[in-house]
Structure 1
Amino acid sequence: MEIEGAKQLFEIGQFEGVLNSLEKIRNIEDLSDLEALEYNLLKSSVYLRLRLDEKCLRFAKLAYHQAQKSKNTFLSIDALLNIAWSFFWLGKLEKAFELIFEVEEKIENMETIQELKFERRKGFLFFIKAVGSWFQAEPEGFKYAKKSVSIRRKLGIKHEIVESLSILGGLSTYFKEDLDASLAILDECHNLALEINHPWAKTFNQKNYGDIYHFKGDLKKALNYYKKGVKDFIEKDNPLPAVSTMGLVGKVYREMGDIDQCCNYLLRSYDISKITNNDWLKSRIITDLIEILVLRGNIQKAEKYLEKLEDINNREGDNTRIKNSYLISKALILKSYKRFQSHAKAQKIFHSIIRDKTSENEILITALLNQCELLLDELNLTKKADIIDEIDLLVEELLKWADSFKSYWILSETLVLQARLALLKFKLTNARRLLTKAQKMAEKYQMYWLAAKISHEHDSLLQKLGLWKDLEVSESSIAERINYSNLSEQLSYMIQKTRIKLPEIKNENPIMILIISEGGNPIFTHLFVNKTALESHILGSFLATFDYFTKELFSEGLDRAIFGDYTLIMNFISPFYIAYLFKGESYFAVQRMRKFTKELDKNNNIWKSLLKHHQKNKTVKLGDIAHLDSILKNIFSSNSAYINNLK
């Protein structure tokens, strides 16, 4: 009776109730063979949900042997998949994948199929395959997770739907470009988890929310969610599953510039990891610790941790991930030494990691960035211009891998790095184009703080175009160009993974907005300042150089230009160019223009009126078109609600 009651509780996701029911069974030896099998499988399955991985493994192994003995294929599949789950979390990835292959063979060889039972196992299999893809950082896992969700929705077992949605949301965050879509998946998962009191509402889901806001650049919100994801495990004296999330807490503190807190969390993670035999987990934490210790200049302590990592590597000689963790850590320590010989050894290791391409994304990106920095040091020392080409090639690799890994922060910052390299060769237009692309990339993935930072750098470059042209004419030295490009600072900032805090972005001072036909005839002109405050020749000068600016901005893929003492932004909606002149920073100006262009495009009355005036070759006055005045005020005023929402 207790077994049947426990099974019913399991079906509705009452996991603590399952354990309470099973605890009432005093004499397990009195159970029938099937009841003993179900007892062990139920315990294993509950421990899976509670992330008590070693207990899950122990009871799953017992259940598997009993299922094999009684030739119960369905329950043997359940047991094998529970074992595979445990192996993934205990760092035994190869064994886990072997079990997945074994389950696939069992399912293929089934002769008699009970559809409900069969479909449930398929849903479980796809779920575990998705988990495996997560550990391997393979985008294919998204496909498995979707299949699992689809099957489990049809079956209607709520706790299993929660679990499949959880892994789907996690994979979507890392391998799909729409973070809002990932958030929608996670919201659905979380609402259902709260409804049935699924334990993952307090753990996995919090971590997944943290990942989404981390990608969006909202570090405070990410930190809050990550800490919530750790809290439940710590309170229940089950800290081991929280180790990886604690590492993420440390990572966020690092990006906030709080290296001490980062180090504290990594040390706590390492202390917890010592209670397990999971060498893969320990190696990851030690690798992160060594990187932080090197950045802090605590090389002796880093060397001691390297010895621990070397011991793990010697024990797990066939584990590529552990080997690469050891190699990157060794190279970072070698790079910290002053001797050229040590730098040469570090370069050799970085090169082998980059060439091998089997490392985890963080390790490969770390190798590429540090190799770039060593080459830049060599360029500073030798002044050999061909080294710039070597750095260029590495940066191209960095772009490729950052895109492949969906590391959008790295991707955007690498475009900035590429822009700074372009300055060394006096490719000023290319540098501006890359900064425009970098800002659009940051905005696309909702990293608005980063977009603002890049916009600030673009404005700074515009102000220094004259300086760079003078440097080119005077055939300035490589050392001068490196100094003015801030290339070293950009590399150092990316290696430290600290997100720079910008001063408050100020509103620009609007001067004039124009709507111009493709032929260069002004259809609408609106001044935001008194006519007396505006040079009388400005409109004529702009129209005289209209063709030049349309070519510079649109054919070169730029989003802003300098026009005398002003900055110019132009958008195009056939058959009109919309031009905005202003003074000050460009970030909010770009947002205003984007909003204004959309408003014109979607308002049929305004658009038809503009076209009508254009066809009659007449100019538009502010009072000629209803609502145009209010749109301008709502968007371009200093207290614009639209802009305030962006701050």
Structure 2
Amino acid sequence: MTQEELEQLTRAEELFENGNLDDAYSLLEKLAKENELGIDKKVHILYLMGLISVYQHKGEDAIDFGEQISSEAHKFKRDLLYLDGLFLKLVGLVISDKFEQTSDILQKADALLNSISNKPKDSLKLRKSRIIIVKAWIAFHSGKIKEAEKMIQTILNLMKNLDDNLEKAWAYLLLAQIHIQITFQLDLAMEYSKKALSIAKNIRFNHYWIAYSYIGIAVSYGLTYEYGLSLEFHMKSLEIFQKLDNKWYICNILNNIGLTYCDKGDYKLSMKYLEESLMLWEKYKLNIGAVLDSLVYVALEIGDVSLAQKYFNRLEERYKQKKEDTFRKVIYQYNKAVLLKRSSRIRDIAKSEKLLKQIAQDENAFFDYRLYAYIHLCDILVTEFRLNYEDVILDELNAYIPKLLRMAEESRSYLVFCETFILQAKLALLKFDINSAQRFLTQAQKIAETKQIKRLAIKISYEHDKLIEQIDLWKNLKESDIPISERWRLVGLNEQMEIMKKKGLQDVPEILDEKPVYLLIISQGGMPFFSQSFTNDKKFEEHLFGGFFITLNSFIMQNFSEGLNRASFGEYTLLMNDFSPFLSCYIFKGQSYSAQKRIISFLNEIKNDRETWKSFNEFYQMNREIGIKDIPHLEFLIQETFPLN
């Protein structure tokens, strides 16, 4: 290459580094036409052009550049460069959804890698990692998750002593995707997305991988209903992909942002972003089914049925053009059923019910549509029950619930999963089964906590607190033989179904600190072991030691044996936790969510401090009650953990 051409190449690389892909491509395209480039420079230029094509989601162009590189490398018997061409071609095929065409190329790449022995080890490791990452991607999309995870670990082992590169970032992002879509281990998804981001910031031509990492972080936040943070990272990703001119990602992110605003209840902004997404899908002839589906949903949420019908008409047109397309068929049938269900005519509701049953029972339909088909079927039954209050309708509703729970769990739809337990709690309350209602709420709370979905856990805890406050009311209502129509109103089944039909989490209560009253730790045999008062209320103290303690002890043991972890005792709330070989009871006034977090933190601190836990066990063996001065660290823990009144 001449000096001028070398300078142009350097300039093109700088433009690429700065995310100016179109300008970089134009320079590279001119250089690629030069005849005296030499094989290494020519392949380097073609590879950069192919990478730009990938970063702009132009799969066919990437395939073409991969073929050109392989052809040039083959002429000069340059095996490593030939592998670079195969890699680029494979990536192009995968982003074009042509997975079936990758098999022969992968076999060719494997055979070549096995035959090479005279090349630098690091160069071979890099090429091997590239081929394996494509295999892992294909395995993931084929549902072979364990196989994909094994391949990713192989890549990370190969990359261990190499500098940060796109292959390593890609491996972590694929791991994040697995934990987002398959295992729902969102803490790991977040960890791997952030690792990918850290790596991406250290590599060349990194804008694409930074933006891709932001999506992983945004989606992880979205799935825990942290909408503000989800929007923040979606916006960061959108800004980069707009600079890169990647229309495919721009459309998808706009759709995600629109749905996130809808989940927040901001329908005006939701419609703005979804409409923008739709315009791009139409302009670039991309698949618009998903965004039309989103627009129907949002239009119905804002109560504009005519607008929803307009978007549905377009879905119907697309379905008629290609009726054999499963995705188009399910979207069309589902939205038709939802629109028919809003009609006041019985025959339309019957048609809706028939369509919803077809979708719910269709194992080839997408989980999300099957799941919400079951929810709408439950809603139809709830509406029917309100008209005549016949038990046979409740029996049919209860028959749907196990199916709904199973499907929600299988699809990792933990919002629906937990809301279904709340529905069961309300149905139990309708029959005056207070203990079952509490157990359903306790189960929902445990799931939300286990999956680290904080906002959902707060909401469920608030529901449980409301029930605790109303226990005496429900006991009195049972004695008064209140009619079912009035029970129906008090339980709020209609309101619960409206919540379940939404695809987001809204109206989460504000967290307020509780007012600590008393902490009691007893042995599992019922003997008092440690107690601490947080109140100066002499009346409470007199009540406690005037026979209340014996009643309280019995109350704790009874509730805990029934699987309940909280109860109301007069004006106080009790939280009970297994602290083997002890049981703890925290008595307070106020909300339970922060109280439960506080007491769990306190108990964990005791167990995790070796000397404190050793002292606890020694006093337990001696059958002695602990005083706060007996263990110096205990007083410090109490002062640090519990808010002052």
TM-score band by shorter chain is: 0.7 to 0.9
Describe the shift of the 1:58–1:300 C-alpha distance in structure 2 as closer, same or farther (beyond 3 A).
Answer: farther
Instruction: Determine the C-alpha separation between the residues in 2 that align with 1:474 and 1:81.
Output: 75
Q: Deviations over 1:196-252 (max 9, x none)?
A: 241224421111110122223321111010011111222444433211111111121
Query: Does 2:492 align with 1:489?
Result: no
Could you tell me whether the CA contact under 8 Å between 2:32 and 2:46 is conserved in 1? no
Q: Deviations over 1:18-55 (max 9, x none)?
A: 84763342636788999878765552233213434454
Q: What corresponds to 1:205 in structure 2?
A: 213
Instruction: Determine the C-alpha separation between the residues in 1 that align with 2:623 and 2:110.
Output: 73
Q: CA deviation at 1:420?
A: 2.1
Q: Deviations over 1:479-532 (max 9, x none)?
A: 333322222212211222342334433322222112223332223222212252
Secondary structure (helix, strand or coil) at the match of 1:526 reads strand
Q: What corresponds to 2:194 in structure 1?
A: 187
Q: CA deviation at 1:634?
A: 1.4
Query: Does 2:304 align with 1:298?
Result: yes
Q: CA deviation at 1:153?
A: 4.6
Q: Which of 226, 230, 239 is the matching residue for 1:222?
A: 230
Query: Does 2:578 align with 1:557?
Result: no
Q: Which of 408, 416, 423 is the matching residue for 1:410?
A: 416
Could you tell me whether the CA contact under 8 Å between 1:50 and 1:199 is conserved in 2? no
Amino acid of the structure 1 residue aligned with 2:576: M
Query: Does 2:198 align with 1:196?
Result: no
CA RMSD of aligned residues (A): 3.5
1:109-128 equivalences in 2 (<5 Å): 113-114=115-116, 123-128=129-134
Q: What corresponds to 1:276 in structure 2?
A: 284
Q: Deviations over 1:106-149 (max 9, x none)?
A: 45666962266876555334433444466677745444444444
Q: Which of 550, 553, 556 is the matching residue for 1:543?
A: 550
Describe the shift of the 1:618–1:307 C-alpha distance in structure 2 as closer, same or farther (beyond 3 A).
Answer: closer
Could you tell me whether the CA contact under 8 Å between 1:250 and 1:266 is conserved in 2? yes
Instruction: Determine the C-alpha separation between the residues in 2 that align with 1:179 and 1:346.
Output: 36
Q: What corresponds to 1:337 in structure 2?
A: 343
Describe the shift of the 1:60–1:417 C-alpha distance in structure 2 as closer, same or farther (beyond 3 A).
Answer: farther
Q: What corresponds to 2:459 in structure 1?
A: 453
Q: Which runs of 5 or more structure 2 residues have no equivalent in the other structure?
A: none
% identical equivalent positions: 28
Q: Deviations over 1:140-174 (max 9, x none)?
A: 54444444444455665712222222222232233
Amino acid of the structure 1 residue aligned with 2:299: L
Instruction: Determine the C-alpha separation between the residues in 2 that align with 1:375 and 1:70.
Output: 72
Secondary structure (helix, strand or coil) at the match of 1:500 reads coil
Could you tell me whether the CA contact under 8 Å between 1:510 and 1:581 is conserved in 2? yes
Q: What corresponds to 2:29 in structure 1?
A: 23
Instruction: Determine the C-alpha separation between the residues in 1 that align with 2:150 and 2:392.
Output: 45
Could you tell me whether the CA contact under 8 Å between 2:193 and 2:214 is conserved in 1? no
Q: CA deviation at 1:62?
A: 6.0
Q: Deviations over 1:543-593 (max 9, x none)?
A: 24524422322x332221122332212223333222222222212221221
Describe the shift of the 1:378–1:71 C-alpha distance in structure 2 as closer, same or farther (beyond 3 A).
Answer: farther
Instruction: Determine the C-alpha separation between the residues in 2 that align with 1:38 and 1:604.
Output: 60
Secondary structure (helix, strand or coil) at the match of 1:514 reads strand
Describe the shift of the 1:615–1:76 C-alpha distance in structure 2 as closer, same or farther (beyond 3 A).
Answer: closer
Query: Does 2:244 align with 1:244?
Result: no
1:92-103 equivalences in 2 (<5 Å): 93=97, 96-103=98-105
Q: CA deviation at 1:534?
A: 0.8
Could you tell me whether the CA contact under 8 Å between 2:515 and 2:643 is conserved in 1? no
Q: CA deviation at 1:402?
A: 2.4
Q: CA deviation at 1:284?
A: 0.8
Q: Which of 253, 262, 286 is the matching residue for 2:261?
A: 253
Instruction: Determine the C-alpha separation between the residues in 2 that align with 1:635 and 1:607.
Output: 17
Q: CA deviation at 1:421?
A: 2.7
Instruction: Determine the C-alpha separation between the residues in 1 that align with 2:25 and 2:344.
Output: 59
Instruction: Determine the C-alpha separation between the residues in 1 that align with 2:624 and 2:39.
Output: 92
Could you tell me whether the CA contact under 8 Å between 2:182 and 2:412 is conserved in 1? yes
Query: Does 2:169 align with 1:162?
Result: yes
Describe the shift of the 1:109–1:161 C-alpha distance in structure 2 as closer, same or farther (beyond 3 A).
Answer: closer
Q: What corresponds to 1:605 in structure 2?
A: 611
Q: CA deviation at 1:273?
A: 0.4
Q: Which of 165, 181, 185 is the matching residue for 1:174?
A: 181
Could you tell me whether the CA contact under 8 Å between 1:80 and 1:99 is conserved in 2? no
Instruction: Determine the C-alpha separation between the residues in 2 that align with 1:78 and 1:278.
Output: 29
Q: CA deviation at 1:72?
A: 9.2
Q: CA deviation at 1:81?
A: 5.7
Amino acid of the structure 1 residue aligned with 2:272: N
Instruction: Determine the C-alpha separation between the residues in 1 that align with 2:344 and 2:132.
Output: 51
Could you tell me whether the CA contact under 8 Å between 1:368 and 1:394 is conserved in 2? yes
Instruction: Determine the C-alpha separation between the residues in 2 that align with 1:564 and 1:52.
Output: 67
1:364-513 equivalences in 2 (<5 Å): 364-473=370-479, 476-513=482-519
Instruction: Determine the C-alpha separation between the residues in 2 that align with 1:111 and 1:567.
Output: 67
Given the two structures, how large is their TM-score scaled by the length of structure 2?
0.86
Secondary structure (helix, strand or coil) at the match of 1:562 reads strand
Q: CA deviation at 1:478?
A: 4.3
Instruction: Determine the C-alpha separation between the residues in 2 that align with 1:150 and 1:364.
Output: 40
Could you tell me whether the CA contact under 8 Å between 2:361 and 2:370 is conserved in 1? no
Instruction: Determine the C-alpha separation between the residues in 2 that align with 1:354 and 1:549.
Output: 43
Amino acid of the structure 1 residue aligned with 2:328: I
Secondary structure (helix, strand or coil) at the match of 2:629 reads helix
Q: Which runs of 5 or more structure 1 residues have no equivalent in the other structure?
A: 640-647
Instruction: Determine the C-alpha separation between the residues in 1 that align with 2:633 and 2:38.
Output: 80
Amino acid of the structure 1 residue aligned with 2:183: K
Could you tell me whether the CA contact under 8 Å between 2:255 and 2:291 is conserved in 1? yes
Q: CA deviation at 1:272?
A: 0.3
Describe the shift of the 1:477–1:36 C-alpha distance in structure 2 as closer, same or farther (beyond 3 A).
Answer: farther
Could you tell me whether the CA contact under 8 Å between 2:319 and 2:328 is conserved in 1? yes
Describe the shift of the 1:565–1:489 C-alpha distance in structure 2 as closer, same or farther (beyond 3 A).
Answer: same
Could you tell me whether the CA contact under 8 Å between 1:142 and 1:172 is conserved in 2? no
Could you tell me whether the CA contact under 8 Å between 1:511 and 1:528 is conserved in 2? yes
Instruction: Determine the C-alpha separation between the residues in 2 that align with 1:138 and 1:388.
Output: 40
1:587-606 equivalences in 2 (<5 Å): 587-606=593-612
1:9-88 equivalences in 2 (<5 Å): 19=25, 22-25=28-31, 27=33, 40=46, 42-53=48-59, 55-57=61-63, 59-60=65-66, 82=88, 85-86=91-92
Q: CA deviation at 1:455?
A: 0.9
Describe the shift of the 1:286–1:73 C-alpha distance in structure 2 as closer, same or farther (beyond 3 A).
Answer: farther
Moved more, 451-460 or 409-418: 409-418
Secondary structure (helix, strand or coil) at the match of 2:583 reads strand
Describe the shift of the 1:382–1:103 C-alpha distance in structure 2 as closer, same or farther (beyond 3 A).
Answer: farther
Secondary structure (helix, strand or coil) at the match of 2:519 reads strand
Q: Deviations over 1:429-456 (max 9, x none)?
A: 2221121122222223332222122111
Instruction: Determine the C-alpha separation between the residues in 1 that align with 2:249 and 2:236.
Output: 13
Describe the shift of the 1:583–1:267 C-alpha distance in structure 2 as closer, same or farther (beyond 3 A).
Answer: same
Q: What corresponds to 1:642 in structure 2?
A: none
Q: Which of 532, 535, 542 is the matching residue for 2:538?
A: 532
Instruction: Determine the C-alpha separation between the residues in 2 that align with 1:390 and 1:352.
Output: 17
Amino acid of the structure 2 residue aligned with 1:262: S
Query: Does 2:633 align with 1:631?
Result: no
Instruction: Determine the C-alpha separation between the residues in 1 that align with 2:487 and 2:145.
Output: 41
Q: CA deviation at 1:608?
A: 3.7
Could you tell me whether the CA contact under 8 Å between 1:380 and 1:478 is conserved in 2? no
Moved more, 451-460 or 13-22: 13-22
Given the two structures, how large is their TM-score scaled by the length of structure 1?
0.86
Could you tell me whether the CA contact under 8 Å between 2:208 and 2:240 is conserved in 1? no
Describe the shift of the 1:111–1:158 C-alpha distance in structure 2 as closer, same or farther (beyond 3 A).
Answer: closer
